[in-house]
A and B are shown apart, each in its own frame.
Chain A
Amino acid sequence: MKEYMDSIYLLTPLAPLVGAIIAGLFGKFIGRSASHWVTILGVGISFICAVIIFNHIVLDAAPAVNQTIYTWMVSDGFNFQVGFLIDKLTAIMLIVVTFVSLMVHIYTIGYMKEDPGYQRFFCYIALFTFAMLMLVMANNFMQLFFGWELVGLVSYLLIGFWHKKETAIFANLKAFLVNRIGDFGFILGIAAILMFAGSLDYDKVFAVAQTEDFQKQTISIFPGVHWSAITFICILLFIGAMGKSAQVPLHVWLPDSMEGPTPISALIHAATMVTAGIFMVARMSPLYELSTTALSVVMIIGAITALSMGFLGIVQNDIKRVVAYSTLSQLGYMTVALGASAYSAAIFHLMTHAFFKALLFLGAGSVIIAMHHKQDMREMGNIRKYMPITYFTALIGSLALIGFPGFSGFYSKDAIIEATHLSTIPGASFAYFAVMAGVFITALYSFRMFFMVFHGKERMDDHTRDHLKESSWVVTAPLILLAIPSVIIGAIAIEPMLFGSYFNDSIKVTDAAHATLSKIHFESVIGFTIHGMMQPPFFLAMAGIASAWFFTLKRPDLAAAAQSKLKIIHTLLINKYYFDAFNQKVFAGGSRRLGAFLWRYGDAKLIDGFFVNGSAKSVGWFSSVVRRLQTGYLYHYAIAIILGLVGMLSWIIWNEYGVTK
């Protein structure tokens, strides 16, 4: 049994890798359909493995596995390994990642069928699946960083997949660099862990973290200022999470990443990669629990993201951008949950969000195919008539997103709101306000989009309308398969995941003051649902739908009027709070100018101009002076010799007697 499971663990990430290598290196020879079959087979095997693992770890309640695959490097006292930690947290992540990935693979057959880079695309998404699996299966920080950067690489390649498009290659460079800023903090956090804990293996670090010695350690970054080492580490790691999970102010890359093909927006920029930061913090719960300060920072950043990014969703007209801002806002919710020590609620929301957000993205993609790759919602309308399956699945996705009772998002979001309400750490009341207001905003932008696309007047041109038709089964089948968990997974999973013992061995909430989830009153799913329907979030969501209906369908003229009345706010939102303009000018432009300045004045003028060429010139000058001394008159030389002799003698005498005596 053990050997059998061990090979299953190994097969899980390797199957997609093999698929990626075959499609990538031999895609030209084996052709298009063989390329998609080989990668789908790889990811399919991976999904089956994930199910077997889930069955083994969760249903059979086998103990968590922590094993080394191979030693990456040893340097006396430091072991760096590639290894797997498979517990219930990993098991649930494996299911989410492989399932969504499999759906996206199938969907891609339809979405990319006319693209010349077909094989390359399948290679990338299979490679991504491998990287993401390595990330979630890691049992040490080194491998975590490996997976972390590798998913970043594939994200870079996929955002810039259409490499002729200037906006795409701008967006992918931006995404990579912004992520690198996060990674900069992340690697310093890893270094600090090694410094204070002496190891990079999760189990050793968590064991050391429980000791008093470790908790009392401080680090002095500025002379005289001592910070708690644990807070310092947690915040550095969180900077990494801010990059990957797109939290303000490192969120700027995610909306631009929509330049990539839609299947990867669903897979990478909604369901899986962007949740890596959330997963990481949940995985590090034994560390974060030790620092209320770090938790406060996490919560406030999350709250800012949840609220401010939701606002931006309201003014977007590009269908994918609306979903992108919605993703940012939902990631903010998850981060707030982390701050409230409701790690399991964050993972729970991560899971439900992965299903319904992938569904919404793929639904948007389905509309985009039908619209001949037009993405502007102002040119859509009443598409429900032409695309019934897309319509219904999008409705399910939207209801799940806004947290309509009974749908999966309802359970995860309500749990987060409740936990935030019960949290007592600094910043919790602000976060509570943000997540509450966010409910209204979410409903508003989601249904604004929904109504603009599927209801109302048909605003597209005649040519497009004549060609509108439901997408083929490779597109609709994944939609239906994703719609099912978007509805039911919340009700099924809430009890074991949040209020049962599911995460007991992977998530530790040690501080009783932090234990917000255990304070939530929970009797049964039905009771929770009914209770939720009498709470403010439900009314806020309903109000959001009603406002969306009113402003987009009933009185669209009012929306335009409001826009001109609130011109300042509207300009601010359209310009995305000027984050991009600021970064472009100050950071990008500033670095380039600084580089040019240092080059021109530091290297060229000072070092080369003054020192190098200067000394060459002074040698020239010196020799011209010396040349003049060579007069040819003997007595000149004689005087020079005598003077030199006297000088040398004086120096020797001075040295021998003057100093010692």
Chain B
Amino acid sequence: MSFDQSILTILILLPIVGGVFALLASDKMSRPVALIFAIATFALSLPLYTGFDLNHSGLFNAAAASAQFELKLPWIEAFNITYHVGVDGISMPLIILTSFISILVILAGWRVIEYKTKQYMAAFLIMEGIMIGVFSALDAVLFYLFWEAMLIPMFLIIGVWGGPRRVYATIKFFLYTFLGSVFMLVALIYLYNQMPEGKESFSILGFYHLDLTLTQQSWIFFAFLAAFAVKVPMWPVHTWLPDAHVEAPTGGSVILAAIMLKIGGYGFLRFSLPITPWASFDWSWLIILMSLVAIAYIGFIALAQKDMKKLIAYSSIAHMGFVTLGLFSVFAIMQYNLEHTTAANPIDVLATTKLVVEGGIVQMISHGFISAALFLCVGVLYDRMHSRDITDYGGVANTMPVFAAFFVLFAMANAGLPGTSGFVGEFMIIIGVIKANFWFAFIAASTLILGAAYTLWMIKRVVFGEVGNDNVKALHDIGAREFIILASLALTVLFFGLWPDTLTSVMHTSVNDLMTHVHSKVADHLVK
């Protein structure tokens, strides 16, 4: 087995092993142990980027499908279940995001977590391995296993280290997500049965070439939707997220916002779009509607929040609305093109759909950094004042100038300021989606106003102004550890804002393959 083949397995196992080591260590030692493993995992994930073949295409190859860094071993042969991992240009950046954020999460809990420290560190490391597993699994059973396993550490993180209403929040979180995933399991088993006689398997890449009727596709589509919409979360199944965020410790919020939500968007790309393209086409209006509601409706709700974490949680929902809008406006763009075939149309449909899908992925990655940064900022304040209420603050810039600079930078990134990564995805989606319908772009662009309004209004009340009270007066600025955390995120956010090509270039081939597949399938559908 070469290094290329084993690297994903190492990336899955290394943090889990690290978690076991952390459990075996003393509370004090568990911190450096966890940090070493997190850094090692991140370092090992970098070869995924450097060794990535930009031109590798083949995920949708019917005869010999292939991914990069692929490894396929028999596992449960009776049902033809395999241990099959591999990445493409969509999952690879998400894996690096996961390993990067995990380091910050370990650092963020360094001083603050004094209760059951080693268990805390272990939970996050194990979580990291599982999440990398989700992004690299190419076998549906393996995927489902990681998908469900992810709930356990998260459940513990909120339930053990969470706030006062943690029981309500964990149960709500668990029921919501679990209910969604059960439908997905049914769909996966159904797909298994649809595979050709004698060739039944849970290979996701095999599912891509099933000839399903529209009815079949619709059922499967909604089963997947139940799972992914809850994870994203999409309006109206989003109400678990603000509760979970508010009760979760800082690290939990960071993982939740930065990575777990992305798994929903990733699911749409890996399952819904390629496996059920006809149903996606027919039901895209529903998803677009839900996304637009998320952007506008949630934007207003965020405006009314008094709790900083809730505000950022709602902001996350609105930003994730952009992701689903980008992914499903693909079909609206096709639809528009159908109805306006004769018009002098300088834009190539395929290119525009690729633009919005890449925009959606960029938005996922970027939101991973920005939401993580904002939750860490709130964490910095919470560690000092033990309050998330906006009204308890005021004039923080006077006592914590360095922190204030970071907070304002991340707030601006959240408001989609050009030069930060927050701008890139929104920009790509707005300029692409106008091709489908002007009003889609109109509502999406309203985030320019709403996003700035709720984020900067919070900044005004928390950071600026006279020192609000004695507690604020007693605040001390961030230390070296917090500085490193926030500075590394700031550099990343600026880097991808100024040069997003480094990020999008790895996606081109994979997105092209996906869109070519979807386009040809939808073309068949329209002929019928």
Contact = CB atoms under 8 A, between A and B. Distances in A.
Interface of A: 70-78, 142, 145-146, 149-150, 153, 156-157, 160, 163-164, 166, 169-170, 173, 176-177, 180-181, 183-184, 187-188, 190-192, 194-198, 208, 213-214, 217, 219, 221, 591-592, 594-596, 598-599, 602-603, 607-608, 611-612, 616
User: Which of A163, A208, A221 has the largest number of chain B CB atoms within 10 A?
Assistant: A163
A598 B297 contact: yes
A153 B435 contact: no
Contact of B457 (A75, A173, A180, A603): A173
Nearest to A600: B304
A75 B344 contact: no
Contact of A198 (B346, B350, B417): B346
Interface string B349-369: 011001100100000000000
B428 A75 contact: yes
B183 interface: no
B472 to A, nearest CB: 12
Contacts of A596: 304
User: Which of B347, B398, B460, B464 has the largest number of chain A CB atoms within 10 A?
Assistant: B464
B351 A599 contact: no
Interface stretch (B78-86, B117-125, B150-158, B446-454): B446-454
A164 B348 CA distance: 52
A187 B430 contact: yes
B418 A145 contact: yes
Contacts of A163: 395, 397-398, 463-465
Contacts of B499: 70, 72
User: Which of B358, B445, B446, B505 has the largest number of chain A CB atoms within 10 A?
Assistant: B445
A94 to B, nearest CB: 21
Contact of B302 (A74, A150, A221, A595): A595
10 contacts: A73-B424, A145-B418, A173-B460, A180-B452, A183-B448, A184-B445, A198-B346, A592-B303, A595-B304, A616-B175
Given A164-B398, A607-B239, A612-B172, A74 B501 contact: yes
B144 interface: no
Given A173-B457, A608-B239, A75 B304 contact: no
A188 B442 contact: yes
B343 A169 contact: no
B137 to A, nearest CB: 27
Given A191-B434, A217-B344, A607-B239, A73 B501 contact: yes
Nearest to A588: B453
Contact of B351 (A76, A169, A177, A195): A76
A173 B464 CA distance: 11
Nearest to B355: A75
Contacts of B424: 73
Interface string B436-449: 00110110011011
Contact of A76 (B302, B439, B463, B508): B508
- Please name the 10 residue pairs, one residue from A and one from B, whose CB atoms are nearest each other, closest first: A198-B346, A595-B304, A77-B351, A595-B303, A595-B300, A596-B304, A191-B434, A191-B431, A169-B464, A163-B464
User: Which of A73, A77, A170, A196 has the largest number of chain B CB atoms within 10 A?
Assistant: A73
Interface string B482-513: 00000000000000001111001100100010
Contacts of A190: 431
Contacts of A602: 297, 301
A299 B211 CA distance: 60
A469 B304 CA distance: 51
B346 A196 contact: yes
B419 interface: yes
A340 to B, nearest CB: 30
A187 B239 contact: no
B438 A169 contact: no
Contacts of A599: 301, 304-305
Contact of B347 (A156, A195, A594, A603): A195
Contacts of B449: 177, 180-181, 184
A168 to B, nearest CB: 8
A120 to B, nearest CB: 9
Contacts of A164: 395, 398, 464-466
B438 A219 contact: yes
A598 B466 CA distance: 32
B412 interface: yes
B465 A166 contact: yes
A74 B347 CA distance: 15
B176 to A, nearest CB: 8
Interface residues of B, number: 63
Given A74-B505, A188-B442, A217-B344, A592 B460 contact: no
A598 B452 CA distance: 19
B164 interface: no
A488 B236 CA distance: 65
Contacts of A146: 418-419
Interface in B449-481: 449, 452-453, 456-457, 460, 463-466
A596 B446 CA distance: 18
Given A164-B466, A611-B236, 14 more contacts: A149-B417, A150-B418, A163-B464, A169-B460, A169-B465, A181-B449, A187-B430, A191-B434, A194-B434, A221-B439, A591-B303, A595-B304, A607-B236, A612-B176
A236 to B, nearest CB: 10
A616 B174 CA distance: 13
B427 interface: yes
A176 B456 contact: yes
A187 B445 contact: yes
Contact of A73 (B236, B435, B504): B504
A145 B348 CA distance: 24
Nearest to B359: A75
A190 B176 CA distance: 40
A76 B434 contact: no
B512 A184 contact: no
Contacts of B305: 599
A191 B355 contact: no
A608 B304 CA distance: 17
B351 A173 contact: no
A199 to B, nearest CB: 8
Nearest to A612: B239
Contacts of A153: 412, 417
Nearest to A594: B300
Contacts of B500: 72-73
Contacts of A191: 430-431, 434, 441, 445
B505 to A, nearest CB: 7
A75 B466 CA distance: 47
A229 to B, nearest CB: 10
Contacts of A208: 346
B346 to A, nearest CB: 3
Given A72-B500, A73-B501, A598 B300 contact: yes
A164 B300 CA distance: 27
Contacts of B508: 74-76
B465 A149 contact: no
B431 A194 contact: yes
A195 B434 contact: yes
Contacts of A173: 456-457, 460
B76 to A, nearest CB: 32
Contacts of B431: 187, 190-191, 194-195
A240 B431 CA distance: 16
B344 A213 contact: yes
A603 B456 contact: no
Nearest to B498: A72
Nearest to A74: B501
B448 A184 contact: yes
A244 B386 CA distance: 40
A77 B348 contact: yes
A197 B438 CA distance: 16
Contact of A176 (B423, B452, B504, B512): B452
Interface in B353-401: 354-355, 358, 395, 397-398
Nearest to B447: A184
A607 B243 CA distance: 13
